[in-house]
A = this chain, B = another copy of it.
Amino acid sequence: MDFTIRAATLEDCKDVARMITELAEYEKAADHVEITQKDLEQDGFSKNPFFHGIIAEVPEQHKSKDGHSKVGYSLYFYSYSSFKGRAVYMEDLYVMPEFRGKGIGKALMRKVAQLGLAAGCTQLNFSVLDWNKPSLDFYFSQGCQDVTSDLGYHYLRCEGDALEYLAQGDP
């Protein structure tokens, strides 16, 4: 099947918001999604954007059962390793279920890798849920390393009241 990989624009935010919800359902995390189309428009397409996006699109005649021609996306941003330097972080890589197995996910990831290398990055980093074996198998087949299992790096997070309290400091 033909498909196109291209940079996301403001007009894609509605479909990206839809696919973020689909991804969250797959990750059993639908309750955690607070992002809206408007957030994506503001945060990704104003000055100093917080992320960049890539869209996978199929021709009209191949659109999904529900009528969608935007069938996959990736969100990424540039980051930094104090040991290795410039890096790119792939926040999401998603392809709608009925379009999987056609190379679309790999093409999206390839585009992030190309953009990262072009910007001088030496690492492409991302995170995966440990029960998501199909995704892990795909990433390992691409030569990726599990830095948590191999080196012991754990993700930590401060949010909500803890973040507010940390910022306020002692009275």
CB within 8 Å of B: which A112-141 residues: 113-114, 116-117, 122-131, 139
Interface residues of A (CB under 8 A from B): 20, 23-24, 29, 32-35, 39, 43-44, 50-51, 75, 77-86, 89, 91-92, 109-110, 113-114, 116-117, 122-131, 139, 142-149, 151-167, 169
Given contact pairs A51-B79, A113-B167, A139-B156, a sample of 17 additional A-B residue pairs in the complex whose CB atoms are under 8 Å apart: A20-B83, A23-B82, A43-B80, A80-B91, A82-B92, A123-B159, A124-B157, A124-B158, A127-B155, A127-B156, A128-B154, A129-B151, A129-B153, A130-B152, A130-B154, A148-B148, A148-B155
A169 — which chain B residues lie within 8 A by C-beta? 110
